[in-house]
């Protein structure tokens, strides 16, 4: 099998789906290969181990998500509007996942962080990098909002960590209750965490900023 | 082996430790019995399945935690002080776990919610009940704070969900970064989520409420 084959992509896609459905530990190489429709030998042609595969799944998922986050968070709209769009996109993504597989699958990185942090240092390290990048992207937007007098936080980095923590916590509940409406609270909570209710003026709480 | 034996308790304790270390899927009955120092037959004397064991571990952990939460949240101190003590107790618990096993193990219920929600409906249902109970306990305290003019929220139930979501999100990061200082933000974030900065008067943000 040559490198021009799409076997690697099919293995990655099958692995991501299976990790989202069953987690990492429950995953077997034979099951991945069956779902991907490739012989078991081709797995070890592309990946040294299940851990290497998980890293590749994480990297591929982050490459796509980072593109989405960049597009949403680095636009020309006012900063808080961009943050709101990020939450809307998160909710839309979880709804799409629920429609396609019947259940809210949650955040791949959050799922793996809780399942694997204490078991595989290489996965922990990669997930730390990704969440740091997410927090950094949110921090820049918060700093912009603060410069415009639309947010009042003591420290944009701490505030960004809290916004991303709120996102992960609400996604956890969306998954547990299989209900994406849990994510409706993200925007209001974000405004509260950023002191934006008081500073942002009328309209922010009522939905005008995201219209 | 009679019912007076402590084998059941030893199996439960070993299972909780192993679930905290490796998650549920990675857990094997043989491993549990070895860690508990009991013959494999005694496992099936007490538990029909690994799932039944997980339910028992969850129930036992919640019985202890519910007692702690009740003691902290139903006291005579002002309501926001009680919420603050809950966060301090959470941080202390995670620090104690880190000291004893080297890593922050996170929230057993949050870990299992992300790992198992979409795989075992019986576990999902029990975890939903527990988080609903937690949210209900926090909601009562928020309603008290609101009556005293110390919190300004549109809906105490939604606010309680957001506070518990923030708790789960920050515990996720404490586990991922193996750093309990991530939980330091909980109190300030709680005040922000409850609109307590503006309404609670001086002292709340500076630490006086928890002294």
- Split at pLDDT 50, 70, 90, the class of A210 is very low
Kindly state whether B111 is in contact with chain A, defined as any CB-CB distance less than 8 angstroms. yes
Query: Which of A169, A181, A199 is the mutation pick for testing B, counting most B CBs within 10 A?
Result: A169
Same structural domain, A64 and A145: yes
Kindly state whether B189 is in contact with chain A, defined as any CB-CB distance less than 8 angstroms. yes
Same structural domain, A179 and A148: yes
Residue B32 lies in a domain: yes
Closest among A31, A144, A162 to A82, alpha carbons compared: A144
Residue B154 lies in a domain: yes
Cα separation of A131 and A154, whole Å?
21
Same structural domain, B66 and B164: yes
Same structural domain, B64 and B31: no
Which pLDDT belongs to residue B197? 58
pTM for this entry: 0.92
Residue B211 lies in a domain: no
- Does the interface predicted TM-score (ipTM) exceed 0.85? yes
Same structural domain, B158 and B193: yes
Chain A residues whose beta carbon lies within 8 Å of the beta carbon of residue B168: 168-169, 172-173
Same structural domain, B25 and B113: no
Look at A8-22, A122-136, A166-180 and tell me which has the smallest mean pLDDT.
A8-22
Same structural domain, A1 and A29: yes
Cα separation of B80 and B150, whole Å?
8
Kindly state whether B192 is in contact with chain A, defined as any CB-CB distance less than 8 angstroms. yes
Which pLDDT belongs to residue B21? 87
Residue B26 lies in a domain: yes
Residue B33 lies in a domain: yes
Cβ-based burial of B93 (10 A; exposed 0-12, middle 13-18, buried ≥19): middle
Q: Provide the number of structural domains found in chain A.
A: 2
Domain containing residue A79: CATH number: 1.10.357.10
**Residue where the block lists tokens 């809780």:** A114
Chains A, B: CB contacts within 8 A come to 148
The residue-averaged pLDDT of A149-161 equals 96
**Which domain does A173 fall in, by range?**
55-210
In order of A18, A104, A178, B206, the CA distances from B117 in angstroms are 14, 9, 9, 39
Query: Which of A108, A116, A162 is the mutation pick for testing B, counting most B CBs within 10 A?
Result: A162
Chain B residues whose beta carbon lies within 8 Å of the beta carbon of residue A162: 166, 170, 185, 189
Same structural domain, A88 and A21: no
Instruction: Output the average pLDDT for chain B.
Output: 90
CA torsion, ordered A151, A154, A159, A161, to nearest 10 deg: 160
Q: Is the pLDDT of residue B174 over 80?
A: yes
Same structural domain, A116 and A172: yes
Separation in Å, CA of B13 to nearest CA in chain A: 19
Q: Is the pLDDT of residue A84 over 90?
A: yes
Residue-wise pLDDT tens digits, B97-146: 999 989 999 999 999 999 999 889 999 999 999 999 999 999 999 999 99
Q: Is the pLDDT of residue B31 over 70?
A: yes
Same structural domain, B75 and B173: yes
Same structural domain, B63 and B26: no
Same structural domain, A20 and A106: no
Domain containing residue A43: CATH number: 1.10.10.60
């Amino acid at each position: 099998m040559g490198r021009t084959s799409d076997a690697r992509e099919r293995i990655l896609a099958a692995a991501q789906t299976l990790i989202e459905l069953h987690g990492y530990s429950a995953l077997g190489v034979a099951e991945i290969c069956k779902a991907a429709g490739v012989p078991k030998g081709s797995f070890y042609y592309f990946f040294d181990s299940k851990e290497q595969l998980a890293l590749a799944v994480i990297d591929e998922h982050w490459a796509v998500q980072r593109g989405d986050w960049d597009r949403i968070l680095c636009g020309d709209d006012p900063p808080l509007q961009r943050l709101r769009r990020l939450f809307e996109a998160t909710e839309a993504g979880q709804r799409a996942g629920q429609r396609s597989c019947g259940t809210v699958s949650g955040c791949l990185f959050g799922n793996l962080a809780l399942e694997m942090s204490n078991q595989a240092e290489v996965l922990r390290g990669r997930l730390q990098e990704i969440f740091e990048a997410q927090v950094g992207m949110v921090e820049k937007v918060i700093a912009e909002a603060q410069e415009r007098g639309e947010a009042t936080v003591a420290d944009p980095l701490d505030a960004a960590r809290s916004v991303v923590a709120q996102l992960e916590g609400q996604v956890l509940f969306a998954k547990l209750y299989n209900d994406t409406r849990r994510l409706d609270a993200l925007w209001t909570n974000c405004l509260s965490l950023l002191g934006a209710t008081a500073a942002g003026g009328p309209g922010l709480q009522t939905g005008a900023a995201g219209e």
